[in-house]
Amino acid sequence: MKKKSVSEQIESCGVIPVIRASSSEEARFAAEAVRSGGIPIVEITMTVPGALQVISGLAKTMPQLLLGAGTVLNKKMARQCADAGAQFLVSPGFDAGMVATAKKLKLVVIAGALTPTEVMAAWDAGADFVKVFPCCNLGGPAYVKALHGPFPQVPLIPTGGVTIETAADYIRAGAVALGVGSELILKDALKGRKSEAISDLARRFVELVKEVRKQLTT
């Protein structure tokens, strides 16, 4: 998929499930569950055991799934994730080498940032999106709104503590999409292999984003 199409799909869906799991099998299970719930995107963090193998496996078995690699810390990891089949890369903080490598590989890059200075650095380096992390620790939606004011041109994706209760406020604050981890990939549902619990939440997140966007345009 071309870079522009990847960016458009991320913005259109508005939700990026961040999958952290204790095993490769759990990660694959989570990916299937969110897809069943209507989210055709997953971010497999590099903290998952065998993360590169999970990405390459999903690329083969679920080619319709938009695959991202998360917790990508440097340019070496960026290349490894690209080779595995990742279509977008996400970092928890800003690393210029990682962003430059993603651009060279023609992959969408979501660079992590927290302060205004970091947002500026990530955007100036060529990030396609800026991940505000950990967002809830600095005020959640109010902090995104504060950043959106001076940086209306920067597509912000709050991550870290985003819940079904706060999701609407983040979109109203100016977020173009939401990075959602344990509040979507429920630990108990993951351990108990309760796919419907995850799928139901995925549907709720997607419907909520659509409804709020509709309200904002009317």
Active site residue ranges: 43, 131
Nearest to 139 by CA among 180, 183, 170: 170
Q: How many CB atoms lie within 10 A of CB 216?
A: 10
Q: What whole-number distance in Å separates Cα of residue 98 and Cα of residue 104?
A: 10
Residue in the block written with tokens 């344990």 = 182
Residue in the block written with tokens 């991550």 = 159
Q: What whole-number distance in Å separates Cα of residue 181 and Cα of residue 160?
A: 7
Three-class SS state of 45:
strand
Q: How far is CA 4 from CA 24, 100, 107, in A?
A: 29, 17, 9
Q: What whole-number distance in Å separates Cα of residue 143 and Cα of residue 149?
A: 10
